[in-house]
């Protein structure tokens, strides 16, 4: 007999708002169907106070994709999440960089995001009921200009419809493993997610800075979900705890926060070239004496 869900709790992390929007969309769909659904923002949540979930509660975890993986704050939350005593069903959703070219909707890439999260939860005794990537409008403003409003609206509406169908299927006792269709390409780029987690995220964390337009209002520091921004000499300073979620960029009223990814790439090139020249194993070949 198919089990119909009556309660759901959805945990999410969001920087620019895409994951938060999807969490609200899924919860709203469930509520319309008579399910008691609540959303929980994990930013600032005391993980030590987490209790094992009650029986018959559907659990959801929604997060953006950073470096082809869930951001460290969500991974840490999953690792700290209590084991289940009741084999609760769970679903996973990742928002990723969707684009639109003419009438064609272009998907983003998930990498290890859903796969690693599923392994962590299964090891804790949970049953995976759904894994779904959602191609919300790409808002990586530190790498590319913002999308046109019409494209944003079209992409968002399409994603909302996908999220509603996903939620309806889950609360009816069904499953949805759409993410597994992307398994070949996800496994192919999974090594990149490892490199990003070990080193790349620290490089990106140090690429954010406040331009001369900054008026020291403190909005970026106040809104940072992981408290990664501190004040140094009356200026905002990004620490290595930065998740590159770009909440600060979206909240800055002066639009003063910029990123120096180009400078980072140049620095990596200069350093690698210097190391290559200074390596004693790199020998300059000359003509033999006659």
Tell me the per-residue pLDDT of 151-161, one tens digit each, with 9 for 90 and over. 899 999 999 99
* Domain of residue 267, CATH code: 3.30.70.20
Query: Do 70 and 176 fall into the same domain?
Result: yes
Single pTM value for the model = 0.83
Query: Do 211 and 273 fall into the same domain?
Result: yes
- Average the pLDDT over 208-237 and give the result: 89
- Average the pLDDT over 227-237 and give the result: 89
Query: Do 56 and 153 fall into the same domain?
Result: yes
Q: What is the CA radius of gyration of the chain?
A: 22
Asked if residue 60 is part of any domain, the answer here is yes
Query: Do 17 and 122 fall into the same domain?
Result: yes
Structural domain that includes position 84 = 7-190
Name residues whose C-beta falls within 8 Å of residue 58's C-beta, 6 or more positions apart in sequence. Answer: 5, 7, 8, 9, 35, 88, 89, 90, 91, 129, 170, 171
Half-sphere exposure (Cβ direction) of 112: Cα atoms closer than 13 Å: 17
Query: Do 56 and 181 fall into the same domain?
Result: yes
Asked if residue 115 is part of any domain, the answer here is yes
Asked if residue 197 is part of any domain, the answer here is no
- Average the pLDDT over 248-263 and give the result: 79
Asked if residue 273 is part of any domain, the answer here is yes
pLDDT band at 2 (very low <50, low <70, confident <90, very high): low
Asked if residue 196 is part of any domain, the answer here is no
* Domain of residue 95, CATH code: 3.40.50.360
Name residues whose C-beta falls within 8 Å of residue 252's C-beta, 6 or more positions apart in sequence. Answer: 214, 219, 220
Query: Do 244 and 136 fall into the same domain?
Result: no
The answer to whether residue 241 scores a pLDDT higher than 90 is: no
Burial 73-87 (b: 16+ CB within 10 A, else e): bbbebbeebeebeee
Asked whether the beta carbons of 276 and 282 are under 8 A apart, the reply is yes
Supply the pLDDT for residue 277: 52
Asked if residue 76 is part of any domain, the answer here is yes
Query: Do 14 and 127 fall into the same domain?
Result: yes
The answer to whether residue 94 scores a pLDDT higher than 50 is: yes
Query: Do 133 and 58 fall into the same domain?
Result: yes
Cα separation of 239 and 97, whole Å?
25
Query: Do 172 and 49 fall into the same domain?
Result: yes
Asked if residue 259 is part of any domain, the answer here is yes
What percentage of residues in the chain have a pLDDT greater than 90?
52
pLDDT digits (tens, 9 = 90+) for 116-168: 999 999 999 999 999 999 999 987 655 556 678 898 999 999 999 999 999 99
Asked whether the beta carbons of 23 and 52 are under 8 A apart, the reply is no
Query: Do 117 and 172 fall into the same domain?
Result: yes
The overall average pLDDT reported for the chain is 85
Cα separation of 118 and 95, whole Å?
16
Asked if residue 45 is part of any domain, the answer here is yes
Our CA dihedral for 25, 26, 30, 36, rounded to 10 degrees, sits at -100
Domain count, the chain: 2
Query: Do 211 and 186 fall into the same domain?
Result: no
Which of 190, 222, 257 is at the close of a domain?
190
Query: Do 126 and 32 fall into the same domain?
Result: yes
- Average the pLDDT over 20-26 and give the result: 97
């Amino acid at each position: 007999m198919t089990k119909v869900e009556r309660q759901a709790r959805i945990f999410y992390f969001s920087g620019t708002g895409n994951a938060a929007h999807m969490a609200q969309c899924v919860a709203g769909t469930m509520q319309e169907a008579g399910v008691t659904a609540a959303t929980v923002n994990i930013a600032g949540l005391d993980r030590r106070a987490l209790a094992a979930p009650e029986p018959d509660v559907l659990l959801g975890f929604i997060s953006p994709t950073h470096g082809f993986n869930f951001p460290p704050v969500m991974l840490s939350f999953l690792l700290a999440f209590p084991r289940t005593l009741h084999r609760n069903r769970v679903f996973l959703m990742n928002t990723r960089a969707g684009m639109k070219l003419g009438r064609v909707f272009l998907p983003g890439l998930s990498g290890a995001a859903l796969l690693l999260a599923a392994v962590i939860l299964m090891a804790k005794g949970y049953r995976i009921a759904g894994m779904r990537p959602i191609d919300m409008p790409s808002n990586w403003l530190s790498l590319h200009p913002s999308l046109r409003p019409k494209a944003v609206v079209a992409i968002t509406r399409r994603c909302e419809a996908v999220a509603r169908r996903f939620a309806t299927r889950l609360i009816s006792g069904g499953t949805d493993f759409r993410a597994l269709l992307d398994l070949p390409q996800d496994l192919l780029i999974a090594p990149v997610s490892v490199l990003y987690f070990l080193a790349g995220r620290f490089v990106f964390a140090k690429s954010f800075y406040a331009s001369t337009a900054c008026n020291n209002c403190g909005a970026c520091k106040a809104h940072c979900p992981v408290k990664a921004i501190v004040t140094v000499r009356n200026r905002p300073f990004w620490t290595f705890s930065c998740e590159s979620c770009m909440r600060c960029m979206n909240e800055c009223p002066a639009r003063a926060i910029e990123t120096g990814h180009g400078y980072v790439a140049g620095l990596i090139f200069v350093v690698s070239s210097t190391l290559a020249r200074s390596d004693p194993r790199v020998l300059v070949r000359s003509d033999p004496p006659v």
